[in-house]
Structure 1
Amino acid sequence: MNFSRWRDSGRRFAFGPHSIFYQRHGEGSCALLLIHGFPTASWDWEPIWSTLCAHFPQVLAPDLLGFGFSDKPPHHRYSLMEQADLCEALLAHCGVNEVHLLAHDYGVSVAQELLARDLERHGHGLRLRSVAFLNGGLFPEVHRATAMQKLLHSPLAPLLTRFIRERGFGRALAKVFGPQTQPTPIELHDFWRLVAENDGVRVMPRLIRYLDERRKYRTRWVGALIHTRVPLRLINGPEDPVSGAHMAERYRELVPAADVVLLPGIGHYPQVEAPDRTLAAFLAFHRERVPSPS
């Protein structure tokens, strides 16, 4: 599916006063929810979308608030907690009461919060059936922010956003890809369009506050990884300078019976850089580790 068709075939739902874009395939009470990363959007899942739709009765992929084709209110206090609320609202909107998660980058923190809420529900309400993580900052103490992220998180951010252009954005994003799996000019252009949509560059300094939330809620979110009984798998591109091999090593240290699949040569975007290998690892997880519905 090309970029324009992805945008034009999407749906929308109201999350409070905000209009949220999402892709949906299929229907039913059980779904696979795809949670994207910063600074892009659900379009990241397109390379594996059709195969996932063939394996799950319903697949949902929202653009979180402030991202992609969803609303980007300029003065909003963006929060990972609110993004978890958004995901739950979308699931309710689509009639879902059992969900599998596949999360990347920023989305791994949203997934950790959903995992923590699942622990608190004690089997009541929405049921979380499995979680698969791609590269992301699961443990803030070993997350290595990029130079661009550091600048966006600094007092210089309002000035910086006036000068961010497609070429510089593309150079910065390409640095987190594997050396042999660099994004094409077309891919970089599409990523830029997601950020630039609806003047999205202006909200990036507000979105980047998620780095603070990861530290604030570390005990809660790492605790969810340690104490959950939900099947987990980390699929990791080890060449990623932000959350690659060092993040996988920390995962093995802290998560009981850690299930980790490394994709050699791959960087921060496994689903874009190596869609077939990412799918193989994800679908094997579901065959081997995730119980069938009762």
Structure 2
Amino acid sequence: MSTLPGIGLDDWRSRSRGFSFNGQAIRYWTAGEGEPLLLIHGFPTASWDWHYLWQPLAAKYRVIACDMLGFGYSAKPREHVYSLLEQADLQQALLAHLGIGGPLHVLAHDYGDSVAQELIARHQEDRLQLASCVFLNGGLFPETHRPVLTQKLLLSPLGPLLGRLFSRSKLKANLTKVFGPQTPPSDSELDAFWELIAHNDGPKVMHRLIHYILDRRVNRERWVAAMQETAVPLRVIDGALDPISGAHMVARYRELIANPDTVLLEAIGHYPQTEAPAEVLAHYLEFRERWEALACKDALC
């Protein structure tokens, strides 16, 4: 499926480091040198989602990623009230832990898109400094987000039970619906995704994590206003066939964002970074190079 080699999950895990965030153990990864590039993963998986892009991006930038609270190899406290704002706090705490304070580039996916939207809002409020942000498939606008049945049930009173009954076979059924028909996840990818979710009883907190859908509604006006007002360069790279946040989400983005920079991957679904990583890489690097050339021209370099 991929023309990039990627990193096996065991190798990926062996490269992780740890730090404490509000008393919770967080696993994170960093590699490369240069301008900092923060990668923010989606629901319900983890930072391994970026494994195809990791080495190529680390060859040009200082890449940073963590498994957010409740995900992957990080802590998954059972009674915790999870929120997107706290996950943005976590990203800022990780940057502080690494001593990164300058302009930050962001590449985000799915749930991570919402965290990135909060970071854009904080940039507008002078609470951090962003240099660019690229979104992969995600619910940037609640009115265009079309959750799958499992997500709806996790939000319902049946959520705790559904989480406990979640399994690899149910994961496969759900991912098959949202990946492109020509780019389904392989058995080995499904095994890895399931390991990341199942680690440390992860299914038992899925009904708590899913409240991000409600967080998006509460924060919609602030986040969309920040995206409309910001001078931070933005791009959307989107798998068009994604039933959750595919071409219909991009159409809404083009309605709401002035001079929209969007790329549609016509045959790809919800996980472009694993379905078509070489294409995502090419479009991401073109975005960065174009803005760097414009900045250089403005500076007469």
Instruction: State TM-score, norm by structure 1.
Output: 0.96
Q: Are 2:33 and 2:58, in contact at CA under 8 Å, matched by a contact in 1?
A: no
Aligned residue in 2 for 1:283: 285
Determine which of 228, 248, 251 is the counterpart of 1:249: 251
Which one of 107, 113, 120 corresponds to residue 102 of structure 1? 107
User: What is aligned with 2:120?
Assistant: 115
User: 2:93 aligned to 76, 80, 89, which one?
Assistant: 89
How far does the alpha carbon of each residue in 1:60-83 deviate from its partner, in whole angstroms, 9 at most, with x for none? 011000000000000000000000
Distance 1:286 1:272 in 2: 20
1:43 corresponds to 2:48 = yes
Unaligned runs of 5+ in 2: 1-6
Shift of 1:162: 2.5
> How many angstroms does 1:258 deviate by?
0.3
Q: Deviations over 1:85-139 (max 9, x none)?
A: 0000111111112210000000000000000000011xxx631000000000000
SS in 2 for 1:90: helix
Deviation at 1:212, TM superposition (A): 0.3
SS at match of 1:289: helix
CA distance in 2, matches of 1:75, 1:221: 28
The residue that corresponds to 1:14 in the other structure is 20
> What does residue 273 of structure 1 align with?
275
2:143 aligns with 141
CA distance in 2, matches of 1:259, 1:286: 12
Deviation at 1:292, TM superposition (A): 5.2
Counterpart Cα distance in 1 of 2:268 and 2:167: 26
Task: Indicate whether 1:72 and 2:76 are aligned.
Answer: yes
Provide the aligned C-alpha RMSD in A: 1.2
Residue 37 of structure 2 aligns with an amino acid whose one-letter code is L
Alignment match of 2:186 (pick from 165, 184, 187): 184
Matches of 1:162 and 1:282 in 2, distance apart?
38
Give the secondary-structure state (helix, strand or coil) at the position aligned to 1:180: coil
Q: Where does residue 4 of structure 1 map in the other structure?
A: 10
Query: Which residue, out of 17, 21, 29, partners 1:23?
Result: 29
8 A Cα contact 2:18 2:28, kept in partner: yes
Instruction: Measure how far apart 1:289 and its partner are.
Output: 2.4
* Alignment correspondent of 2:4: none
Q: Which amino acid aligns with 2:288?
A: H
Runs (4+) off by over 6 Å? none
**Cα distance per residue 1:257-281 (max 9 Å; x no partner):** 0000111100000000000000011
Contact 2:32 2:59 (8 Å CA) reproduced: no
Unaligned stretches of 5+ residues in structure 1: none
Summarize the alignment of residues 118-267 of structure 1 with structure 2, pairs less than 5 Å apart.
118-121=123-126, 126-267=128-269
For residues 266 and 295 of structure 2, what CA distance do their matches in structure 1 show?
Answer: 30
For 2:60 and 2:33, locate their aligned partners in 1 and report how far apart those are by CA, in whole Å.
13
CA distance in 1: counterparts of 2:77 and 2:176, whole angstroms: 27
> Which amino acid is the alignment partner of residue 285 of structure 2?
L
Give the structure 2 partner of residue 60 of structure 1.
64
Structure 2 length normalisation: TM-score? Answer: 0.94
Helix, strand or coil at the partner of 1:240: coil
2: CA distance, partners of 1:23 / 1:239: 30
Residues of 1 paired with 2:283 and 2:80: CA distance? Answer: 37
**3-state DSSP of counterpart to 1:55:** coil
Percentage of identical aligned residues:
55
Residue in 1 that maps onto 2:3: none
